[in-house]
A and B are shown apart, each in its own frame.
Chain A
Amino acid sequence: MDLLNALVAFANFVFIPAAAYGAQLALGALGVTLIYGILRFSNFAHGDTMAFGSMVTVLVTWWMQSAGIGFGPLPTALLALPFGILGCVALVLFTDKVVYKFYREQKAKPVIFVIVSMGVMFIINGLVRFIIGPDDQRFADGERFIISVREFKDMTGLKEGLAFKTTQGLTLVTAFVVVVLLFWFLNRTRTGKSMRAYSDNEDLALLSGINPERVVLVTWIIVATLATIAGVLYGLDKTFKPFIYFQLLLPIFASAIVGGLGNPVGAIAGGFVIAFSEVTITYAWKKVLVYALPEGLEPSGLVQLMSTDYKFAVSFVILLIVLLFKPTGLFKGQSV
């Protein structure tokens, strides 16, 4: 029995990766939930919006790398991020103007918006593939680890190592800062309050003189920012591949719904719920259990509840359970 090593193995293989992934999902789900709260539809183009913002960031990163601009131990992508955000904002504002605005004025049914967002998804997806191609792209640089396995072992003298990647630390810090800023904005500023008012009750908000187009504009800007940050963090942490972002749509939607669509706090909670369930259910627990259990009781198999290929199934099952038993989500969302 060796609880300390078990704990380290747990942190290394489950807790840290799941926390980073959860932060990425939470940022993505925040975007979905904001669109849902203000524009009142599920945005299927969100995954590809993330891909587009990340793509611009990747391109600018490459240019910076070739020009010899670096960010010391941090990834150059952080310097390129503002450009990615700008590109993404330009894209979503353009689509809003030429596509969504028309249906808003018509007061079209939500399902029409969903179909339209699917068309937008198609186009953005095609655009991204057209520009950068469908393959994996590497753009991470800088220091790889905050703590590497070797350093950790030397430091603590433990048998089990712990690696803490720069991208993971970066994800957690960035997500935290972004979320704090977002909540400060929503709760303290005039524009943020008008957004919440509009989301709670559109008619009353209009009556009190809130300009709906301005609310929508600000929402899109925030959503594009969140999407780009989430996309770049995911790309840095794992890999940039256009199709991956389409596949992320499912866990992101699951996070938003589990937390309660339209509820920002719920989106963050939902992101972590989904991420931790995915990782704990698809992780092979043998290593941790070997340390944690008394000798003789060690498991012979991998103790993996499900193979990693089924991680999407995990978020899906959680989604189904929530839909069956608590369709408004853990934190009360708007959806019934």
Chain B
Amino acid sequence: MSDTARNTLYFAIVAALILGTGFVQSWNSALFILNMGLVSAIMALGVNLQWGFAGLFNVGIMGFVALGGLATVLVATPAVPGAWDAGGMRILAGLVLAIMSILSAVMIYRRMSASRLRGVAIFAVLAVGFFAFRAVFDGGVDAVEAINPATSGNIGGLNLPILLAWPVGGLLAAGAAWIIGKTALGLRSDYLAIATLGIAEIIIAVMKNEDWMARGVKNVIGLPRPVPYEIDLQNSASFIEKAEGFGFDVVTASTLWVKLLYAGLFAVVLIILFLMVQAALKSPWGRMMRAIRDNEVSSEAMGKHVTARHLQVFILGSAICGIAGAMITTLDGQLTPTSYQPLRFTFLVWVMVIVGGSGNNLGAVLGGFVIWFFWVQVEPLGHGLLSVLTSGMAEGSALKEHLMGSVAHMRLLTMGLILLLVLRFSPRGLIPEK
């Protein structure tokens, strides 16, 4: 079987699975799987850029995705009235102060020769900078958080179209990636893993605790949408007419239509990004990346700046994850920092890339769809399996209750097993790298 035929078969199977969900369960859940599958495919593309092209191990995908989510709030929500006057400027000034003191510490480090004096100077600048930052910043935060804390208490956003938040999310993620890449790249491969693990936890901690930014754990709900609201559709005469023309119930039709619109938007983004990474892979740049991945020493001998290229590709990959993060939050219509779980947003994406085929963009997309499908469906499957296994046990026995209650944790086990089995027996994935 040729490669094309095999790949077509794979994607046909995925399509059949999703359609099957539509026929067996409901079209709403089928479209939900499709939408999140599209986003997952985008995240997998980003990670594949880092791991498949360059061999960089990023365990902080969750952090970059969360930054994308944060971007939607900062870009698309309307500004909270009075927040900027009350303390917004103070917060901004505080942040500027913090950045300036860090920059001046860096300057001192670069300009002065290594001596004890330099150490003292850097420490003094950072200490003074920190207290100045807290003095300015804290007042602003208190003022902003005092404004109507039940419904807002945050600075609000720029009130721009939410689609703009997608690229902005990518930029935020790229910025975080730059900081991490600057420190951890060029060292042992494990260090990048540990540093990314850390930054992800910290980004989530910041999002949970800095209420002035996006309300922290109080969540931001009712984000603006790039597509119409179901209720408006249900009241629009032309939509009712069309829905009835196709023989649909109006309520169902409106939810399906909204999801379809999202699917269209996501598909456009996925196609654009896919074409871009595909072009990158085939370009001299992509060949250079793979050469560096396969043999860093000889690439260095050929005059390639390995660390700089790694930094580049790390930033690009993280930016893609940021875009995907903004898309997820847009789809959910709300930002809930507590929903960012490393197992769900970091490790699941890794399973997608490795199962799909690391180093192959098409593989990453396929992996995104397949793994997402199983992630959603393992729970009912596991439930069914355990029901069969425990059917022999007495009704109401403690063990049976415990097993049935723990079905939710089957997902972790299954995903871990899939990852290990694929790595062991088919390390090149479903669609191997050419």
Distance between B104 CB and nearest chain A CB, rounded to angstroms: 17
In the complex, A5 has a CB within 8 A of chain B: no
When C-beta atoms are compared, the residue in chain B nearest to A316 turns out to be: B198
The reply to whether A122 and B406 contact each other, CB–CB distance below 8 Å, is no
The reply to whether B411 and A102 contact each other, CB–CB distance below 8 Å, is no
In the complex, B416 has a CB within 8 A of chain A: yes
Chain A residues whose C-beta falls within 8 Å of the C-beta of B406 in the assembled complex: 129-131, 133
Given that A130-B406, A247-B201 are known contacts, is A319 also in contact with B194, CB under 8 Å in the complex? yes
Given that A99-B420, A323-B183 are known contacts, is A257 also in contact with B198, CB under 8 Å in the complex? no
- The contact string, 1 if C-beta is below 8 Å from chain B, for chain A 116-130, is 101111110111011
- The contact string, 1 if C-beta is below 8 Å from chain B, for chain A 308-321, is 01101101100110
Measured in the bound complex, the distance between the Cα atoms of B193 and A52 in whole Å is 23
When C-beta atoms are compared, the residue in chain A nearest to B341 turns out to be: A243
Chain A's interface: helix, strand, loop or mixed, by majority?
helix
Chain B residues whose C-beta falls within 8 Å of the C-beta of A249 in the assembled complex: 197
The reply to whether A312 and B189 contact each other, CB–CB distance below 8 Å, is no
In the complex, B57 has a CB within 8 A of chain A: yes
In the complex, B190 has a CB within 8 A of chain A: yes
The reply to whether B423 and A115 contact each other, CB–CB distance below 8 Å, is yes
Chain B residues whose C-beta falls within 8 Å of the C-beta of A309 in the assembled complex: 205, 208-209
Measured in the bound complex, the distance between the Cα atoms of B416 and A324 in whole Å is 33
In the complex, B195 has a CB within 8 A of chain A: yes
Distance between A255 CB and nearest chain B CB, rounded to angstroms: 11
In the complex, B199 has a CB within 8 A of chain A: yes
The reply to whether A120 and B420 contact each other, CB–CB distance below 8 Å, is yes
Given that A253-B194, A312-B202 are known contacts, is A115 also in contact with B412, CB under 8 Å in the complex? no
In the complex, B347 has a CB within 8 A of chain A: yes
The reply to whether B413 and A123 contact each other, CB–CB distance below 8 Å, is yes
Given that A110-B189, A324-B183 are known contacts, is A312 also in contact with B201, CB under 8 Å in the complex? yes
The reply to whether A336 and B188 contact each other, CB–CB distance below 8 Å, is yes
Measured in the bound complex, the distance between the Cα atoms of B343 and A119 in whole Å is 11
Given that A114-B193, A129-B406, A249-B197 are known contacts, is A119 also in contact with B205, CB under 8 Å in the complex? no
In the complex, A271 has a CB within 8 A of chain B: no
Measured in the bound complex, the distance between the Cα atoms of B411 and A34 in whole Å is 31
Residues 90 to 120 of chain A near chain B (Cβ within 8 Å): 99, 102, 109-112, 114-116, 118-120
When C-beta atoms are compared, the residue in chain A nearest to B413 turns out to be: A126
Chain B residues whose C-beta falls within 8 Å of the C-beta of A99 in the assembled complex: 420, 424
Measured in the bound complex, the distance between the Cα atoms of B417 and A127 in whole Å is 11
The reply to whether B205 and A42 contact each other, CB–CB distance below 8 Å, is no
Distance between A268 CB and nearest chain B CB, rounded to angstroms: 19
The reply to whether A313 and B347 contact each other, CB–CB distance below 8 Å, is no
When C-beta atoms are compared, the residue in chain A nearest to B57 turns out to be: A111
In the complex, A44 has a CB within 8 A of chain B: yes
In the complex, B55 has a CB within 8 A of chain A: yes
Chain B residues whose C-beta falls within 8 Å of the C-beta of A129 in the assembled complex: 406, 409, 412
Chain B residues whose C-beta falls within 8 Å of the C-beta of A292 in the assembled complex: none
Contact of A42 among B193, B343, B424 (CB under 8 A): B193
Given that A126-B410, A313-B205, A319-B198 are known contacts, is A44 also in contact with B193, CB under 8 Å in the complex? yes
10 CB < 8 A contacts A-B: A115-B419, A119-B416, A125-B343, A126-B413, A257-B191, A307-B209, A316-B201, A316-B202, A323-B195, A327-B187
Shortest 10 CB-CB contacts between residues of A and residues of B: A122-B416, A126-B412, A126-B413, A123-B416, A316-B198, A42-B190, A119-B419, A129-B409, A119-B420, A111-B189
Beyond A122-B412, A253-B194, A257-B194, 20 additional pairs, beta carbon < 8 A? A42-B194, A102-B424, A111-B189, A114-B190, A115-B57, A116-B423, A118-B350, A120-B420, A123-B413, A125-B343, A129-B409, A130-B406, A130-B409, A133-B405, A254-B194, A257-B191, A309-B209, A315-B198, A316-B195, A324-B183
